[in-house]
Chain A
Amino acid sequence: MNTLRLLWTFLRVGVMGEAAYRINFIVQLFQSLLGLVTALGSLAVVFSYTDTLAGWRPDEVVALVGVYILVGGVIGVVIQPSMEQLIESVHEGTLDFTLTKPEDAQLLVSIRAVDIWEILNILLGLGVLGVALIKLKEAVGILQAVEFGLLLLAGGVIVYAFWLILATLSFWFVRVENILVIFQSLYEAGRWPVSMYPGWMRFGLTFLVPVAFAVTVPAEALTGRLTAGSAVGALGLALALLLFSRLFWKVGLRNYSGASA
């Protein structure tokens, strides 16, 4: 509850900050739509030559693109801006101020920067997903919906923990933001079903950068492809990474001596 209340506060601060720059809304809308056009355009070219891609039908891949945009939006709203700010505040020593607040520091650094216009991507992702599901015509049962929700949550947790681990590295290393940029560019690969990639790349996209668990696995739940193995794997990995990132954060924090002190 406390987490939600804090997140709500930071969201409100974000809205107040951005309200002065309302034209950014139009700009972000335009850019999100361009991203969608690129994704759907390339699907149109590919599917003019084939009926299935790695066993996925066109509407199913559109659903996958919806999940991709949705998860990208979640990363963009709070995870990426907060982690970037965390790295910066470790550099500049301003993390000191956060540590003195009467709240869990990990919670604070994880939600304190919010890019509200990225919410558009969440809405857009949901929209694309909705259209794709209507076109698929297969009734998504309650079980599938629950599976999808759980796996989406697991995917979000995995991505969050992964970013937190990388950002925590900044307690020891200086140029960590570079690794984050690499993750951003590898995330692009998640726009396609991970099963399409050759083995070595699939391994990398599953375990080195968890794109598969963040995007493909939830989409599998919706399109009836989910195997028990990947469901358990996703939930297990989410829990393990969450615990590990917490531990790693604590160790890192102990290593932090403040740049200003």
Chain B
Amino acid sequence: MPSKDDPASMGADMLVISVQPVPTIGLRANLIGLKDLYSQLMKTAFAAMLQYRAALVIWMISQVLEPVIYLIVWTSVTQASGGKVGGYTRSDFAAYFLVLMLVNHLTYTWIMYEYDYRVRQGSLSASLLRPIHPIHSDIADNLSSKIVSTPGLLLVSIVLAVIFRPTIHILPWATIAAVPAIVLAFLVRFLIEWMLALVAFWTTRVNAINQMYFVVLLFLSGQIAPLSLYPRVVQVVASVLPFRWMVSFPVELILGNLTPHQALIGFAAQAGWLAAALFCVRATWRAGVRQYSAVGA
């Protein structure tokens, strides 16, 4: 058992203090503090990011390429089978994959690669000494990178829209509902992937685990095909697990594929997974920090 003045267990205690403001909204002072904290963290993140513009562009290319490839695959399939596949026409697929690209971009994280590095190099030690939980600076990093890259991606999607000619039937209620759906999807995906990143505390083979996660995510979050094109069993699995709610659900909402009733079920699922993920992140973080022994500390 670690003693009380062991840095690792201090880190674990800090979590209790610092993560509190997030779930217990209502404490005004805490919220203002959090706002200041985030504006400062994001300023730092912006400054760092501007040094890595090329990395941002590369990352965007892979974000764009994959949905475009699958869009072309499905376009080719619709042409071969007389105009319609599983209720989707060629322009429906275009709409699906372009919206998917945007939602995937907005909910994407790269935190697994970071944590592996932080734990192996021991650079996590510094952030453990700060009086705030490290997850806040990770969220700020992610948000500021998206503020920078989203205009670029919107531009790309306009160009792609001109090329692939999507059709979307916009339902006002569904479009409005998509905003909280994307926020919830981001939070669920961020927390789950952040938790997965913590695996780095226990093993140095994180790449294999990450890749396994990405394969499942690719299929079950609707990035290869709309989930409705899968066999019934796979659809059920994708809905029971968090994957559908992390990417596919907001896409389905925006495209007007869901009834209000189905949308409510979706929000309930997102809220449930958010609660579960918050709980698991706290537990994993406590256990992980105890496990952590930085080289050179």
Contacts and interface: CB of A to CB of B under 8 A. Distances in A.
Interface of A: 23, 27, 30-31, 34, 37-38, 41-42, 45-46, 48-54, 175, 178, 181-182, 185-186, 188-189, 192, 196-198, 201
Contacts of A189: 65, 69
Contacts of B211: 31, 34
B225 interface: yes
Given A27-B205, A34-B215, A196 B76 contact: yes
A70 B215 CA distance: 20
A196 B62 CA distance: 19
A74 B77 CA distance: 31
Contacts of A30: 208
A34 to B, nearest CB: 5
Interface residues of B, number: 33
Chain B's interface: helix, strand, loop or mixed, by majority? helix
Given A42-B219, A49-B81, 5 more contacts: A27-B205, A42-B70, A53-B80, A186-B65, A189-B69
A41 B219 contact: yes
Q: Which 4 A-B pairs have the closest CB atoms?
A: A185-B62, A50-B77, A178-B54, A50-B80
Interface string B22-43: 0000000000000000000000
Chain A's interface: helix, strand, loop or mixed, by majority? helix
23 contacts: A27-B205, A34-B215, A37-B215, A38-B218, A42-B219, A42-B224, A45-B229, A45-B230, A49-B77, A49-B81, A50-B77, A50-B85, A52-B80, A53-B77, A178-B55, A181-B58, A182-B58, A186-B65, A189-B65, A189-B69, A192-B72, A196-B73, A197-B72
B212 interface: yes
Nearest to A195: B76
Interface of B: 54-55, 57-58, 61-62, 65-66, 69-70, 72-74, 76-77, 80-81, 85-86, 163, 205, 207-208, 211-212, 215, 218-219, 224-225, 229-231
A185 B61 CA distance: 8
A234 B46 CA distance: 46
A27 B208 contact: yes
Nearest to A37: B215
Given A38-B215, A182-B58, A185-B62, A49 B208 contact: no
A52 B81 CA distance: 9
A46 B62 contact: no
A253 to B, nearest CB: 25
Contacts of A186: 61, 65
Contact of A31 (B69, B208, B225, B231): B208
Given A34-B212, A46-B73, A188 B81 contact: no
B218 A192 contact: no
A53 B211 CA distance: 27
Contact of A53 (B76, B208, B215, B229): B76
Given A27-B208, A31-B207, A34-B211, A49 B229 contact: yes
Contacts of A51: 80
A108 B74 CA distance: 45
Nearest to B224: A42
A196 B72 contact: yes
Contacts of B70: 42
A50 to B, nearest CB: 5
